[in-house]
Structure 1
Amino acid sequence: MRDITTGNIIADWKPEYAGMFGKETLKLKHTLHQSEWFSDERLANLIEKAERSHYHVNTRSSGPDGKKRRREGEFGGLSGMEVLQAVRKGDIWINLRAPQLADPAYGDMLHDMYAEFETRVPGLETFKHKTTILISSPNVYVPFHSDVPGQMLWQVRGTKRVWLYPAEEPFVTRNAIEKLILGELHETDMPYDETLDEKAFVTDLQPGDMLHWPLNWPHRVENHDCLNVSVTTEHFTREIRTSYAVNYANGLLRKAGIANPRKQTGGLAATAKTALAGAVKFSGLRRQAHKPYTIDFVVDPSGKAGIRDIDPYELRL
């Protein structure tokens, strides 16, 4: 059962928001920050119960060329409270990718979120819902990246600044989206240049703020000087599923030598590409070439930046 005293997750809905959902940036108020789901005790419990395939823990370090690179790590044998201690003093961020598997209450929360949107947005039907809890150190920078499904970001503790960019060139190429969908590109591998910020939508999120943006829009995040806890939710609709299938098929066609396949949103061509994507994806003829993650640190509250280097190994999630 939800323990939010207001009885609603969305706190300031207006009728005009229905036509904006999925098409424009939408910033709303919510009540998740009033819940005990995001106390230190509940978060520590989730960390301790998280299976290795259901979390990421990252930091960024300077390489030989002076550029920051994203690194992947592990919790080791720490307690949940020890991990949170490292986050508070360190330079790391954690993605708990399936909290509902450790505590069904988060599954109820996810169901209620989308039930409220589907009640308020006529004709909206969503599926393949997922949620991730993000726990970040003060001043952590989440690099420029894009996501495949529909996205919402719910701020619970702390403050962060978000930059959003349209899903078009020069911000992101269709080829990059196709590779992301084919599993040939990590979401944070997309190239970024500071000149892109001139046309970005920029906003600060406080506890109780929620941000939604159109499909595949690249974004980046800078946390303020405080521990941050956020929730991301993702979903599909029929339109998003078609976009996914067309991009998947276009990626295959591009690999077959077609230089610039068209991106259809409907009609016979989109139907044909959807069929192609389904046939290839589920036939086993092409296994997704997911890039492995290199694990090269363990969380350590006594270490610099809250981490300790270890001998690297590869992990496929």
Structure 2
Amino acid sequence: MGDPRFFTPEALTTFAGGYPVQPMKLTHGLLAHPLLGLPALQQLARELPADSIEYNPGNLPVGIAPEDVPTPERALEQALEGLESAGVWVVLKRIEQVAAYRDLMESILGDLAHVVQPRTGAMLRQEGFIFISSPGAVTPFHFDPEHNILLQVRGSKTMTVFPGDDEAIFAPHVHEAFHLGQHHRNLPWQEDFAGKGVAITIHPGEAIHVPVKAPHWVQNGDGVSVSLSVTWRSEWSFAEADARAFNHVLRGVGLNPRSPAPYPASNRVKALANRALRRLRG
């Protein structure tokens, strides 16, 4: 391993102790980075294509269907200039489209590669996201297909993380539909889920590792929040997704297939079968 740029040896030891299955708090050294101040992020928002910006009101319930999310009342640029009172959260997506942010993201992920690659393989499809949020804003209950490190740069937020393999929270057909592009990332919320989650609060200089498809929801603290999310896919995560898609095929012919096994199982047989079927279908 080379000298880490953004994580201390202690943080990397913590990461190695739980990757890829455990949510955990880490520490980082990005607080003074000039690319992560609000003026730089306002400029980044101007440079990114429109489809790389997601903009939502912040006063949302934990569980909400995507079609029920209202349109924010202020224009994006006005909201970014008045975050204290705008009541919004904004995501700048795929920041690697801008060279300086790509270099930053790759450097951060480079610190982690010596832990990641022996376990889940090469860090594929590396992407970065920046969340800019008003005080108290809520990101509803959802899950993501990537391995994820969320680094807090300004303000605080609490992420409540749930087990990714608990089928009482979301059933196999929801996994399958998501990987086939038929289900939004948002998940239905039930109050009896609450006791299954682990709440992790992070302040500037702290980060959270979020396992693949671990359901979670987020609430900001009482100040403006800026967070950087660095994500990657792996051969393991792609195999899990392909195995889910193949289960959908099996379910369509009347079978009741077993769900893909959690890490360290590879799910390779079903994954290869789905890839072969996809090739046959062109």
TM-score range, shorter chain: 0.7 to 0.9
Cα separation, partners in 2 of 1:15 and 1:272, compared to 1, 3 Å: closer
Aligned residue for 1:135, secondary structure, equals strand
Give the number of the structure whose alpha-carbon radius of gyration is greater: 1
Which structure 2 residues correspond to residues 177-188 of structure 1 after superposition, within 5 A?
177-188=175-186
Distance 1:16 1:232, change over 3 A: closer
Partner residue, 1:59: 57
The answer to whether 1:278 aligns with 2:275 is yes
Aligned residue among 96, 102, 112 for 1:100 = 96
Instruction: Give the drift of 1:260.
Output: 4.1
**Larger deviation, residues 222-231 vs 171-180:** 171-180
Match 1:169 to one of 167, 170, 173:
167
Letter in 1 for 2:83: V
Counterpart selection for 1:24 from 11, 19, 22: 22
Q: Partner of 1:32: helix, strand, or coil?
A: coil
Structure 1: 5+ residue stretches without partners: 1-5, 286-317
Equivalence map 1:17-96=2 (5 Å): 17-59=15-57, 69-71=68-70, 80=77, 82-96=78-92
1:86 Cα deviation from its structure 2 partner? 4.2
- Aligned position for 1:290: none
Letter matched to residue 195 of structure 1: D
Question: CA 1:274/1:86 → structure 2, altered by over 3 Å: closer, same or farther?
Answer: same
Structure 2 stretches of 5 or more lacking a match?
none
Task: Assess, with a 3 A threshold, how the Cα gap between structure 1 residues 202 and 39 changes in structure 2: closer, same or farther.
Answer: same
Partners of 1:254 and 1:244 in 2: how far apart? 15
Number of the residue aligned with 2:13: 15
CA distance in 2, matches of 1:47, 1:30: 24
> Cα RMSD between the aligned structures?
3.2
Aligned length: 273
Separation (CA, whole Å) in 1 of partners of 2:22 and 2:203: 20
Shift of 1:258: 2.9
Between the aligned partners of 1:131 and 1:175, the Cα distance in structure 2 is 28
- The answer to whether structure 1 residue 131 and structure 2 residue 124 are counterparts is no
Question: Is residue 2:136 matched to residue 1:145?
Answer: no
Change beyond 3 A, Cα 1:9–1:282: farther
1:245 aligns with 2:245: no
Q: Is the 8 A contact 1:135 1:227 kept in 2?
A: yes
User: CA 1:67–1:123 in 2, change beyond 3 Å: closer, same or farther?
Assistant: closer
- Whose strand fraction is larger, Structure 1's or Structure 2's? 1
Q: Work out the percentage of aligned pairs sharing the same amino acid.
A: 22
Q: Which residue of 2 aligns with 1:110?
A: 105
Shift of the 67–203 alpha-carbon distance from structure 1 to 2, 3 Å rule, reads same
Q: Secondary structure at the match of 1:217?
A: coil
TM-fit CA distance, 1:187: 0.5
| TM, length-normalised to structure 2 | 0.84
| Counterpart pick for 1:227 among 209, 224, 227 | 224
Q: By how many angstroms is 1:199 displaced?
A: 2.3
Contact 1:253–1:261 at 8 Å: present in 2 too? no
In 2, Cα distance between equivalents of 1:122 and 1:270: 18
Structure 2 SS opposite 1:242: helix
Pick aligned residue for 2:114 from 102, 116, 119: 119
Change (3 A) 1:8 1:246: same
SS of the aligned residue for 2:135 comes to coil
Task: Quickly say closer, same or farther: Cα 1:257–1:90, change in 2 above 3 A.
Answer: farther
Whether the aligned pair in 2 keeps the contact of 1:26 and 1:212 (CA below 8 Å) is yes
The whole-number CA distance in structure 2 between the counterparts of 1:220 and 1:132 is: 16
Residues 25 and 212 in structure 1, CA contact (< 8 A), matched pair in contact too: yes
8 Å contact 2:109–2:230 — kept in the other structure?
A: no
Shift in CA distance, 280/211, structure 1 to aligned 2, threshold 3 Å: same
Q: Secondary structure at the match of 1:203?
A: strand
Letter in 1 for 2:35: W
User: Which residue of structure 2 aligns with residue 308 of structure 1?
Assistant: none
Q: Provide the C-alpha distance between the structure 1 equivalents of 2:252 and 2:69, rounded to a whole number of angstroms.
A: 28
Cα distance 1:243–1:10, how it changes in 2: closer, same or farther (>3 A)?
same
